[in-house]
Structure 1
Amino acid sequence: MANEELNDIVDKNTAQIQDLINEKVRLWYDITLFSAYWWFDLALSVLPWVLWLVLRKRESEDRLLYGGLFIMTAAVILDILGDQLGLWYYRYNLIPIVPSYFPWDMTLMPVTVMFLLQIKPAFNPYVKALVFALATSYIGEPIFRWMQVYVMSHWEYYYSVPIQVVLYLTAHYMTRRNRYDPLVA
Protein backbone atom coordinates (compact mmCIF):
# COMPACT_ATOMS: atom_id res chain seq x y z
CA MET A 1 0.00 0.00 0.00
CA ALA A 2 1.45 3.33 -1.00
CA ASN A 3 1.91 6.08 1.56
CA GLU A 4 -0.66 8.24 -0.22
CA GLU A 5 -3.27 5.48 -0.04
CA LEU A 6 -2.52 4.85 3.64
CA ASN A 7 -2.73 8.59 4.34
CA ASP A 8 -6.17 8.72 2.70
CA ILE A 9 -7.45 5.78 4.77
CA VAL A 10 -6.13 7.28 8.02
CA ASP A 11 -7.57 10.70 7.15
CA LYS A 12 -11.01 9.22 6.40
CA ASN A 13 -10.91 7.17 9.59
CA THR A 14 -9.93 10.22 11.62
CA ALA A 15 -12.76 12.25 10.06
CA GLN A 16 -15.26 9.52 10.98
CA ILE A 17 -13.96 9.42 14.55
CA GLN A 18 -14.21 13.21 14.76
CA ASP A 19 -17.81 13.08 13.48
CA LEU A 20 -18.69 10.52 16.18
CA ILE A 21 -17.02 12.62 18.88
CA ASN A 22 -18.95 15.68 17.70
CA GLU A 23 -22.19 13.66 17.88
CA LYS A 24 -21.28 12.44 21.37
CA VAL A 25 -20.65 16.03 22.53
CA ARG A 26 -23.97 17.14 21.00
CA LEU A 27 -25.85 14.34 22.78
CA TRP A 28 -24.07 15.13 26.03
CA TYR A 29 -24.98 18.80 25.72
CA ASP A 30 -28.62 18.08 24.79
CA ILE A 31 -29.30 15.16 27.15
CA THR A 32 -26.64 14.54 29.80
CA LEU A 33 -25.50 18.00 30.89
CA PHE A 34 -27.37 19.01 34.08
CA SER A 35 -29.28 15.70 34.14
CA ALA A 36 -29.49 13.65 37.36
CA TYR A 37 -26.58 11.51 36.11
CA TRP A 38 -24.45 14.58 35.48
CA TRP A 39 -25.13 15.99 38.98
CA PHE A 40 -24.43 12.56 40.46
CA ASP A 41 -21.11 12.42 38.58
CA LEU A 42 -20.21 15.92 39.75
CA ALA A 43 -20.99 15.00 43.37
CA LEU A 44 -18.92 11.81 43.07
CA SER A 45 -16.07 13.87 41.63
CA VAL A 46 -16.02 16.47 44.41
CA LEU A 47 -17.46 15.11 47.68
CA PRO A 48 -14.94 12.29 48.31
CA TRP A 49 -12.11 14.82 47.94
CA VAL A 50 -13.80 17.14 50.43
CA LEU A 51 -14.18 14.21 52.84
CA TRP A 52 -10.53 13.28 52.32
CA LEU A 53 -9.40 16.87 52.98
CA VAL A 54 -11.23 16.81 56.30
CA LEU A 55 -10.19 13.29 57.41
CA ARG A 56 -6.69 12.91 55.98
CA LYS A 57 -3.63 12.47 58.16
CA ARG A 58 -1.90 15.76 57.51
CA GLU A 59 1.53 14.42 58.44
CA SER A 60 1.15 11.75 55.73
CA GLU A 61 -0.52 13.97 53.13
CA ASP A 62 2.38 14.06 50.65
CA ARG A 63 2.84 10.29 50.69
CA LEU A 64 -0.87 9.67 50.36
CA LEU A 65 -1.18 12.09 47.44
CA TYR A 66 1.79 10.38 45.79
CA GLY A 67 -0.05 7.04 45.99
CA GLY A 68 -3.32 8.67 44.92
CA LEU A 69 -1.68 10.24 41.88
CA PHE A 70 -0.34 6.84 40.85
CA ILE A 71 -3.81 5.29 41.20
CA MET A 72 -5.38 8.13 39.22
CA THR A 73 -2.88 7.81 36.39
CA ALA A 74 -3.13 4.04 36.21
CA ALA A 75 -6.94 4.08 36.42
CA VAL A 76 -7.27 6.61 33.61
CA ILE A 77 -4.84 4.73 31.35
CA LEU A 78 -6.47 1.35 31.99
CA ASP A 79 -9.98 2.79 31.62
CA ILE A 80 -9.13 4.42 28.29
CA LEU A 81 -7.54 1.17 27.08
CA GLY A 82 -10.61 -0.83 28.08
CA ASP A 83 -12.90 1.64 26.36
CA GLN A 84 -10.82 1.81 23.18
CA LEU A 85 -10.50 -1.99 23.00
CA GLY A 86 -14.28 -2.35 23.35
CA LEU A 87 -14.15 -4.16 26.70
CA TRP A 88 -16.53 -1.66 28.32
CA TYR A 89 -17.88 1.83 27.91
CA TYR A 90 -19.75 4.49 29.85
CA ARG A 91 -23.10 5.95 28.87
CA TYR A 92 -22.94 9.07 31.00
CA ASN A 93 -19.84 11.21 31.39
CA LEU A 94 -19.14 14.29 33.42
CA ILE A 95 -16.95 15.50 30.56
CA PRO A 96 -18.04 14.30 27.10
CA ILE A 97 -14.70 13.92 25.35
CA VAL A 98 -13.09 11.84 28.11
CA PRO A 99 -13.58 8.13 27.34
CA SER A 100 -13.00 7.08 30.95
CA TYR A 101 -15.40 7.54 33.85
CA PHE A 102 -14.01 10.65 35.54
CA PRO A 103 -15.54 10.14 39.04
CA TRP A 104 -14.24 6.57 39.26
CA ASP A 105 -10.73 7.24 37.95
CA MET A 106 -10.05 10.68 39.41
CA THR A 107 -11.88 10.43 42.73
CA LEU A 108 -13.36 7.14 43.90
CA MET A 109 -10.31 4.97 43.18
CA PRO A 110 -7.57 7.30 44.49
CA VAL A 111 -9.50 8.56 47.51
CA THR A 112 -10.47 5.03 48.54
CA VAL A 113 -6.88 3.85 48.22
CA MET A 114 -5.58 6.86 50.18
CA PHE A 115 -8.05 6.17 53.00
CA LEU A 116 -7.06 2.50 53.06
CA LEU A 117 -3.38 3.44 53.14
CA GLN A 118 -3.83 5.73 56.13
CA ILE A 119 -6.21 3.50 58.14
CA LYS A 120 -4.29 0.92 60.18
CA PRO A 121 -1.07 1.46 58.21
CA ALA A 122 0.64 -1.56 59.83
CA PHE A 123 -2.16 -3.94 58.81
CA ASN A 124 -1.33 -6.58 56.19
CA PRO A 125 -1.30 -4.79 52.80
CA TYR A 126 -2.21 -8.01 50.96
CA VAL A 127 -5.45 -8.29 52.93
CA LYS A 128 -6.20 -4.60 52.27
CA ALA A 129 -5.45 -5.08 48.58
CA LEU A 130 -7.78 -8.06 48.37
CA VAL A 131 -10.57 -6.23 50.23
CA PHE A 132 -10.13 -3.23 47.92
CA ALA A 133 -10.12 -5.42 44.80
CA LEU A 134 -13.18 -7.43 45.83
CA ALA A 135 -15.11 -4.32 46.88
CA THR A 136 -14.39 -2.41 43.67
CA SER A 137 -14.95 -5.43 41.43
CA TYR A 138 -17.99 -6.97 43.10
CA ILE A 139 -19.68 -3.95 44.71
CA GLY A 140 -18.55 -0.80 42.85
CA GLU A 141 -18.67 -2.12 39.29
CA PRO A 142 -22.06 -3.88 39.72
CA ILE A 143 -23.61 -0.74 41.23
CA PHE A 144 -22.52 1.38 38.25
CA ARG A 145 -23.67 -1.36 35.90
CA TRP A 146 -27.06 -1.53 37.68
CA MET A 147 -27.33 2.26 37.31
CA GLN A 148 -26.70 1.73 33.58
CA VAL A 149 -23.65 4.00 33.63
CA TYR A 150 -21.13 1.20 33.05
CA VAL A 151 -21.64 -1.26 30.19
CA MET A 152 -19.44 -4.36 30.05
CA SER A 153 -19.01 -5.60 26.49
CA HIS A 154 -16.22 -8.15 26.77
CA TRP A 155 -15.36 -7.97 30.47
CA GLU A 156 -16.16 -9.89 33.65
CA TYR A 157 -15.97 -8.61 37.22
CA TYR A 158 -13.36 -11.17 38.21
CA TYR A 159 -10.97 -9.82 35.54
CA SER A 160 -10.69 -6.64 37.60
CA VAL A 161 -9.65 -8.34 40.85
CA PRO A 162 -5.95 -9.03 40.08
CA ILE A 163 -5.58 -5.62 38.45
CA GLN A 164 -7.00 -3.87 41.53
CA VAL A 165 -4.76 -5.94 43.83
CA VAL A 166 -1.66 -4.93 41.85
CA LEU A 167 -2.72 -1.26 41.80
CA TYR A 168 -3.26 -1.17 45.56
CA LEU A 169 -0.01 -3.01 46.37
CA THR A 170 1.95 -0.69 44.05
CA ALA A 171 0.46 2.38 45.72
CA HIS A 172 1.22 0.86 49.12
CA TYR A 173 4.84 0.24 48.12
CA MET A 174 5.22 3.74 46.65
CA THR A 175 3.95 5.42 49.81
CA ARG A 176 6.35 3.44 52.00
CA ARG A 177 9.50 4.51 50.14
CA ASN A 178 12.08 6.44 52.14
CA ARG A 179 14.91 6.62 49.63
CA TYR A 180 14.69 9.99 47.96
CA ASP A 181 17.76 11.96 47.00
CA PRO A 182 17.87 15.41 48.56
CA LEU A 183 17.14 18.30 46.20
CA VAL A 184 20.31 20.20 45.37
CA ALA A 185 20.21 23.79 44.18
Structure 2
Amino acid sequence: MSFIPEEVNIQKQLTEVRISQWLSEVFLKPRWWALVFIILALCIVWFQMVDKSRLSEICLFTVLLTIIFMGIDEYGEELLLWDYPIDIIPLFPPFFSIHFISIPLLYSQIYQRFKQGKYVFAVLISSAVLCFVVEPIITFFGYYDLINWHYYESYPIYVVTALCTKATVQKILYFSKKNRRIGNAG
Protein backbone atom coordinates (compact mmCIF):
# COMPACT_ATOMS: atom_id res chain seq x y z
CA MET A 1 0.00 0.00 0.00
CA SER A 2 1.40 3.38 -0.96
CA PHE A 3 1.72 6.33 1.34
CA ILE A 4 -1.02 8.93 0.96
CA PRO A 5 0.25 12.47 1.60
CA GLU A 6 -1.51 14.44 4.32
CA GLU A 7 -2.68 17.13 1.89
CA VAL A 8 -4.43 14.45 -0.21
CA ASN A 9 -6.29 13.23 2.88
CA ILE A 10 -7.24 16.82 3.73
CA GLN A 11 -8.50 17.31 0.16
CA LYS A 12 -10.52 14.10 0.48
CA GLN A 13 -12.08 15.35 3.72
CA LEU A 14 -12.91 18.72 2.14
CA THR A 15 -14.52 16.98 -0.82
CA GLU A 16 -16.61 14.80 1.49
CA VAL A 17 -17.74 17.88 3.46
CA ARG A 18 -18.55 19.77 0.25
CA ILE A 19 -20.61 16.87 -1.13
CA SER A 20 -22.41 16.38 2.17
CA GLN A 21 -23.19 20.11 2.42
CA TRP A 22 -24.33 20.19 -1.22
CA LEU A 23 -26.64 17.20 -0.71
CA SER A 24 -28.21 18.63 2.43
CA GLU A 25 -28.34 22.36 1.59
CA VAL A 26 -28.31 22.76 -2.20
CA PHE A 27 -29.43 19.72 -4.20
CA LEU A 28 -33.10 19.86 -5.28
CA LYS A 29 -33.71 23.08 -3.33
CA PRO A 30 -35.52 26.00 -5.07
CA ARG A 31 -32.33 27.91 -5.93
CA TRP A 32 -30.80 24.73 -7.38
CA TRP A 33 -33.88 24.22 -9.58
CA ALA A 34 -33.78 27.89 -10.59
CA LEU A 35 -30.14 27.47 -11.64
CA VAL A 36 -31.01 24.36 -13.66
CA PHE A 37 -33.81 26.29 -15.37
CA ILE A 38 -31.61 29.34 -16.06
CA ILE A 39 -28.84 27.23 -17.54
CA LEU A 40 -31.20 25.20 -19.72
CA ALA A 41 -32.96 28.38 -20.87
CA LEU A 42 -29.65 30.07 -21.70
CA CYS A 43 -28.49 27.04 -23.70
CA ILE A 44 -31.79 26.78 -25.60
CA VAL A 45 -31.86 30.50 -26.40
CA TRP A 46 -28.20 30.40 -27.44
CA PHE A 47 -28.81 27.46 -29.78
CA GLN A 48 -31.82 29.22 -31.32
CA MET A 49 -29.79 32.41 -31.88
CA VAL A 50 -26.49 30.96 -33.03
CA ASP A 51 -25.61 31.34 -36.70
CA LYS A 52 -25.71 27.68 -37.79
CA SER A 53 -23.62 28.46 -40.90
CA ARG A 54 -20.77 29.53 -38.56
CA LEU A 55 -21.45 26.92 -35.88
CA SER A 56 -17.94 25.41 -35.89
CA GLU A 57 -16.29 28.82 -35.58
CA ILE A 58 -18.66 30.05 -32.87
CA CYS A 59 -18.38 26.78 -30.94
CA LEU A 60 -14.58 27.04 -31.10
CA PHE A 61 -14.80 30.55 -29.64
CA THR A 62 -17.29 29.41 -26.98
CA VAL A 63 -15.28 26.34 -25.96
CA LEU A 64 -12.01 28.29 -25.70
CA LEU A 65 -13.71 30.96 -23.63
CA THR A 66 -15.35 28.31 -21.43
CA ILE A 67 -11.99 26.62 -20.79
CA ILE A 68 -10.41 29.95 -19.85
CA PHE A 69 -13.27 30.89 -17.52
CA MET A 70 -13.25 27.42 -15.99
CA GLY A 71 -9.62 28.00 -15.03
CA ILE A 72 -10.29 31.53 -13.80
CA ASP A 73 -13.28 30.37 -11.74
CA GLU A 74 -11.36 27.50 -10.20
CA TYR A 75 -8.35 29.71 -9.35
CA GLY A 76 -10.65 32.30 -7.83
CA GLU A 77 -12.38 29.73 -5.65
CA GLU A 78 -9.10 28.06 -4.68
CA LEU A 79 -7.58 31.41 -3.67
CA LEU A 80 -10.75 32.32 -1.73
CA LEU A 81 -11.51 35.31 -3.95
CA TRP A 82 -15.10 34.22 -4.56
CA ASP A 83 -17.40 31.25 -4.17
CA TYR A 84 -20.35 29.72 -5.98
CA PRO A 85 -22.61 28.45 -3.18
CA ILE A 86 -25.09 26.93 -5.64
CA ASP A 87 -23.70 24.50 -8.21
CA ILE A 88 -25.52 21.92 -10.27
CA ILE A 89 -22.91 19.39 -9.20
CA PRO A 90 -20.60 19.74 -6.19
CA LEU A 91 -17.26 18.82 -7.78
CA PHE A 92 -14.63 20.49 -9.96
CA PRO A 93 -14.83 21.68 -12.56
CA PRO A 94 -17.59 24.06 -11.61
CA PHE A 95 -19.77 22.83 -14.44
CA PHE A 96 -22.93 24.82 -14.57
CA SER A 97 -22.06 27.51 -12.10
CA ILE A 98 -23.83 30.68 -13.12
CA HIS A 99 -20.68 32.22 -14.64
CA PHE A 100 -19.47 29.06 -16.32
CA ILE A 101 -22.39 29.04 -18.73
CA SER A 102 -23.65 32.62 -18.96
CA ILE A 103 -20.44 34.48 -19.76
CA PRO A 104 -19.22 32.30 -22.66
CA LEU A 105 -22.71 32.18 -24.18
CA LEU A 106 -23.06 35.96 -23.96
CA TYR A 107 -19.65 36.66 -25.46
CA SER A 108 -20.21 34.11 -28.22
CA GLN A 109 -23.32 36.03 -29.27
CA ILE A 110 -21.29 39.23 -29.31
CA TYR A 111 -18.58 37.45 -31.32
CA GLN A 112 -21.19 36.29 -33.81
CA ARG A 113 -22.90 39.65 -34.26
CA PHE A 114 -20.15 42.29 -34.21
CA LYS A 115 -17.16 42.96 -36.45
CA GLN A 116 -13.82 44.03 -34.96
CA GLY A 117 -14.43 47.70 -34.03
CA LYS A 118 -17.97 47.19 -32.83
CA TYR A 119 -16.92 43.94 -31.15
CA VAL A 120 -14.51 45.83 -28.87
CA PHE A 121 -17.21 48.36 -27.97
CA ALA A 122 -19.78 45.59 -27.36
CA VAL A 123 -17.31 43.72 -25.13
CA LEU A 124 -16.57 46.88 -23.14
CA ILE A 125 -20.27 47.56 -22.59
CA SER A 126 -21.30 43.95 -21.89
CA SER A 127 -18.40 43.49 -19.46
CA ALA A 128 -19.55 46.57 -17.55
CA VAL A 129 -23.11 45.23 -17.44
CA LEU A 130 -21.85 41.84 -16.23
CA CYS A 131 -19.67 43.36 -13.51
CA PHE A 132 -21.89 46.13 -12.24
CA VAL A 133 -25.41 44.82 -12.88
CA VAL A 134 -25.46 41.03 -13.31
CA GLU A 135 -22.89 40.11 -10.66
CA PRO A 136 -24.60 42.16 -7.91
CA ILE A 137 -27.92 40.53 -8.86
CA ILE A 138 -26.57 36.97 -8.75
CA THR A 139 -24.82 37.84 -5.49
CA PHE A 140 -28.12 39.10 -4.06
CA PHE A 141 -29.81 35.82 -5.00
CA GLY A 142 -26.99 33.75 -3.47
CA TYR A 143 -25.40 32.26 -6.58
CA TYR A 144 -22.11 34.15 -6.22
CA ASP A 145 -20.24 35.32 -3.13
CA LEU A 146 -17.37 37.79 -3.17
CA ILE A 147 -14.83 36.92 -0.50
CA ASN A 148 -11.62 38.82 -1.30
CA TRP A 149 -12.79 40.34 -4.57
CA HIS A 150 -14.67 43.36 -5.89
CA TYR A 151 -16.98 43.57 -8.87
CA TYR A 152 -14.75 46.07 -10.68
CA GLU A 153 -11.81 43.63 -10.56
CA SER A 154 -13.65 41.30 -12.93
CA TYR A 155 -13.99 43.99 -15.60
CA PRO A 156 -10.47 43.88 -17.08
CA ILE A 157 -10.46 40.08 -16.91
CA TYR A 158 -13.70 39.86 -18.89
CA VAL A 159 -12.54 42.39 -21.47
CA VAL A 160 -9.07 40.94 -22.00
CA THR A 161 -10.33 37.36 -22.09
CA ALA A 162 -13.02 38.12 -24.68
CA LEU A 163 -10.63 40.12 -26.87
CA CYS A 164 -7.79 37.59 -26.68
CA THR A 165 -10.13 34.68 -27.37
CA LYS A 166 -11.45 36.41 -30.49
CA ALA A 167 -7.89 37.12 -31.65
CA THR A 168 -6.95 33.48 -31.07
CA VAL A 169 -9.94 32.16 -33.01
CA GLN A 170 -9.27 34.59 -35.85
CA LYS A 171 -5.64 33.38 -36.06
CA ILE A 172 -6.77 29.75 -36.07
CA LEU A 173 -9.24 30.50 -38.87
CA TYR A 174 -6.61 32.43 -40.82
CA PHE A 175 -4.05 29.61 -40.64
CA SER A 176 -6.70 27.03 -41.43
CA LYS A 177 -7.83 28.94 -44.52
CA LYS A 178 -4.23 29.59 -45.57
CA ASN A 179 -3.33 25.91 -45.27
CA ARG A 180 -6.43 24.90 -47.24
CA ARG A 181 -5.36 27.18 -50.09
CA ILE A 182 -1.84 25.76 -50.04
CA GLY A 183 -3.23 22.22 -49.93
CA ASN A 184 -5.60 22.93 -52.84
CA ALA A 185 -2.83 24.54 -54.91
CA GLY A 186 -0.62 21.44 -54.61
TM-score, scaled relative to structure 2: 0.85
RMSD of equivalent CA atoms: 2.3
Aligned counterpart, 1:124: 118
Contact kept, 8 Å, 2:107 with 2:123, in 1: the verdict is no
Contact kept, 8 Å, 2:77 with 2:83, in 1: the verdict is yes
1:122 Cα deviation from its structure 2 partner: 5.6
Contact kept, 8 Å, 1:79 with 1:101, in 2: the verdict is no
Q: What letter matches 1:179 in structure 2?
A: F
Q: Percent identity?
A: 18
TM-score, scaled relative to structure 1: 0.85
Q: What letter matches 1:174 in structure 2?
A: T
1:41-92 superposed Cα distances (whole Å, 9 cap, x missing partner): 2122222111111121111111111110111001000000011011111211
2:89 to 87, 95, 103: 95
| Cα distance in 1 between the residues matched to 2:129 and 2:32 | 24
How many residue pairs are counted as aligned between the two chains? 177
Change (3 A) 1:122 1:15: closer
| Cα distance in 1 between the residues matched to 2:168 and 2:66 | 14
Provide structure 2 residue ranges, at least 5 long, that are not aligned to the other structure: none
1:166 to 160, 164, 181: 160
Moved beyond 6 Å, runs of 4+: none
Contact kept, 8 Å, 1:46 with 1:107, in 2: the verdict is no
Q: Which segment is superposed worse, 118-127 or 165-174?
A: 118-127
1:155 to 149, 152, 165: 149
Aligned counterpart, 2:10: 16
Determine if the alignment matches structure 1 residue 178 to structure 2 residue 174.
yes
Q: Which segment is superposed worse, 40-49 or 168-177?
A: 168-177
3-state SS in 2 of match to 1:102: coil
